Amino acid sequence: MKSKYGRTIFWTLALVTVFLMLTACGRSKVGNGAQGGAPEVAVVVVQPERVPVVTELPGRTSAHLIAEVRPQVSGIIQKRLFTEGSDVKAGQVLYQIDPATYEAAHAGARAALARAEANVVSIRNRVERYKELVTINAVSKQDYDDATAALKQAEAEVEANKAATEAARINLGFTRVTAPISGRIGKSSMTVGALATAHQGIAFTTIQQLDPIYVDATQSSANLLQLKRYMAAGRIKGDGPDQARVKLVLEDGTPYPLEGSLKFSDVTVDPSTGSFIVRMVFPNPKHTLLPGMYVRAIIQEGIAERAILVPQQGVSRDPKGNPVVLIVDGAGKVEQRVIAVDRAIGDKWLVTSGIMPGDQVIVEGTQKVRPGVPVKVVPFDAGQKGSTEAGKTTQPPAKPVQPAAKAK
């Protein structure tokens, strides 16, 4: 029994010894393989570029003009003279209110005006006669003064009747409810035979002008302050014809084909959100944009004359969350840099600090290197053919390691 237990211990120790020898041999192979050549990495040489600085803002569309159609006189609606959902022109008749009572009022006002005008003629002739007779004392001066006062009173009555006639004419015209603006008309809330009340709270219908159309977007006040700071430092050029150029992306992700312009920025910041309204105007000849649609506005804020751009795949985060990149220094070794990024421009980051022009930023092969390790540099191929090969060579293949171990 003891002999069997001893043999078991012997063979166990033998297997452990063999395992340790194989492990040591493998380590020596890997070490020799690493010494056989530095890993390859694909790099991008950073150079300053002239790029537009754009901001993408969420927004909603709103009509350029909105008019609620309400009656200005009371009466029964006789006709509706438009098709719901159609385009109407300013001045087009939309509803006809029963005009009978207003025609009668207009006729009465004209008759009163004619009577007042006839009375003026008689009194004016009397004044003219008294004017000649008073010079020869044929009539008293009191009679002349009375006639003159009567003339002025009659003329005032004429003016009052003219005003009454004009008011009656205006009210008669209000029986024809017309479109105040041109645009797309909505549904009608009143039907033929309904009673309309002057200045009622419920609108007959609503007209919206859709061409052009507004886009109201919200922008953070902090971003505005940062933009002004960059402009003051000369990093962004804020003037020029391209500054106010605005593009639009629809809610399904498709770009809107027509460009818009920046109208104005609100002067008040919403204290609950820390943002303010930016209004833009876009042409909308085909009525593609409808009020209330969600869109994304791409505003070109300025031009960065010497922008530093780094591919996003070359930027990672350290344990503290800071963006970092790996670069190849002058000695051909890897160096880690903490950078500051402003925004994404396409598939690249706009870097504000941490990188200088001429630095070689590692884009591919970062997983196989660490700071201080010498590397072999190959240019990064944006087409990913060369860069993929460089990424593969960062891991030493198994076959070249074997000859190195045998040579040892």
Among residues 29, 64, 399, the alpha carbon closest in space to that of 208 is found at 64
Domains along the chain with CATH numbers: 52-63+208-305 (2.40.30.170), 75-98+175-202 (2.40.50.100), 100-173 (1.10.287)
pTM given for the model? 0.61
Angle between helices 141-174 and 100-133 (to 10 degrees): 160
What b-and-e string marks burial along 314-334, b requiring 16 or more CB atoms within 10 Å of the CB? Answer: bbeeeeeeebbbbbbeeeeeb
- d(Cα 49, Cα 39) in Å, to the nearest integer? 30
DSSP state of 199: T
pLDDT digit of tens for each residue in the chain (408 aa)?
Answer: 445 555 666 666 666 665 666 555 544 443 443 444 688 888 989 888 888 777 788 899 999 999 999 999 999 999 999 999 999 999 999 999 999 999 999 999 999 999 999 998 888 888 888 888 878 888 888 888 888 898 899 899 999 999 999 999 999 999 999 999 999 999 999 999 999 999 898 999 999 999 899 998 888 777 667 656 655 655 545 555 545 678 899 988 899 999 888 777 766 777 777 787 888 899 999 989 999 999 998 877 777 778 888 898 889 888 888 899 999 988 888 899 899 888 788 788 888 888 888 889 988 888 888 888 898 888 887 655 434 343 343 333 333 333 333 333
Helices assigned H by DSSP within 78-190: 100-133, 141-174
How far is it, in rounded angstroms, from Cα 63 to Cα 85?
Answer: 15
Q: Residue 215 in contact with residue 60, Cβ under 8 Å? A: yes
Report the C-alpha gap between 275 and 273 in whole angstroms. Answer: 5
Dist. CA 33–CA 92, nearest whole Å: 88
CA 293 and chain centroid, separation? 11
* Cα first-last separation, the chain: 45
